[in-house]
Structure 1
């Protein structure tokens, strides 16, 4: 009888452990998004500088430190932009803007159908392949804050649909003949839609 009780207790422990493992989500979340970049085009040079808006690919990797707190690294490939002055094309450049944010994930809304989150962090942008008129140049790097809000909508146990909105502060000093003539502020708003995989 004693052996049967021990066996039953062990079986219950095994089953409850299995059930617990099935209900606990893994700490990693990887998303792939299509993101629309909409630049604020703030310019203090007096040249009327602006870059084009565009759709870009984005991949991000999140790690959940706790069930509600995560860190996210946002990655893409160098993006080429056309630079215009009062509507006339004057050159182009590429920029690579990796962003790191800390996120807070709220309790699910509507029986787990919506999982909203907010985030804040820092962006580093590297400018390359700069092609501008002779004597005109831009600073090659930019540091700035990033703000984020989004929602995950579960499709299966591990797969989710994601909508994400970020404001990233990207700016660079503009020079002509070696003298600083002002600052160009791209400061884009980025709206993304994609899929996430939790493991």
Structure 2
């Protein structure tokens, strides 16, 4: 009687536990969720008309819809493309209100598509599938603009260069069943840029802006 009861309990627990479905060669994954870009920026000082103002820049965080697609070329290796809706970041002075126009200087919008090769530590006995990866990023920066107050103060023509850099990530999939999984990942992306602008008729610039963000993603995935 006790053996039968114990067997029934074990069967019930097994039914409640998620089945293990490791990824396999030929699988396509599509994921959607939230992606946060958190810059860890440093920059040289702002230069106007050849004079160093002794002021640098800071760049704020932003969270958007993140989408990625991956294809398994072996049971353990996939190639993944990260995409997202455009990220918009506030750009501010590193010191309080140096121009008397508010601390925020302006804002920029960018798209950071990233292609990554990942290695999965597949374990057929676990629903958790951790992985590591490395790849390359191209950051397209556009729609740069000063705040209205700064434009009224004579600032114009803000422009930031696009960036190409390496990336690295760690992540994990948790399999709910054979088609659905939850994904979490952390990436570091090397993003470097230069900025130019005008103050009245004088040329201004900020060189060597190292944005270098940490990128955090939490998403739900589907396997084809």
The TM tier, using the shorter chain, reads 0.7 to 0.9
Return closer, same or farther for 1:172/1:98 CA change in 2, 3 Å cut-off: same
8 A contact 1:35–1:193 mirrored in 2: yes
Partner of 1:97: 112
Q: Choose the corresponding residue for 2:91, options 83, 91, 110.
A: 83
TM-score, reference length from structure 1: 0.80
Return closer, same or farther for 1:24/1:182 CA change in 2, 3 Å cut-off: closer
Give the whole-Å Cα distance in 2 for the aligned partners of 1:95 and 1:47.
24
Partner of 1:188: 213
Give the whole-Å Cα distance in 2 for the aligned partners of 1:94 and 1:84.
14
Segments of 5+ residues of structure 2 without an aligned counterpart are 1-22, 46-53, 97-102
Segments of 5+ residues of structure 1 without an aligned counterpart are 1-22
Partner of 1:14: none
2:163 counterpart SS class:
strand
Partner of 1:124: 138
Give the whole-Å Cα distance in 1 for the aligned partners of 2:129 and 2:42.
34
How many residue pairs get matched?
176
Partner of 1:64: 72
Q: Alignment RMSD, CA only?
A: 2.0
Which deviates more from structure 2 when the two are superposed, residues 136-145 or residues 166-175? 136-145
Give the whole-Å Cα distance in 2 for the aligned partners of 1:179 and 1:48.
13
8 A contact 1:34–1:58 mirrored in 2: yes
Partner of 2:173: 152
Give the whole-Å Cα distance in 1 for the aligned partners of 2:204 and 2:62.
31
Give the whole-Å Cα distance in 1 for the aligned partners of 2:87 and 2:68.
16
Give the whole-Å Cα distance in 2 for the aligned partners of 1:74 and 1:123.
9
8 A contact 1:138–1:172 mirrored in 2: no
CA deviation vs aligned residue, 1:86-130 (integer Å, no higher than 9, x gap): 251011111111000111111227x22210111100100111111
Give the whole-Å Cα distance in 2 for the aligned partners of 1:194 and 1:99.
16
**Residue 184 of structure 1, CA deviation:** 1.4
1:55 aligns with 2:63: yes
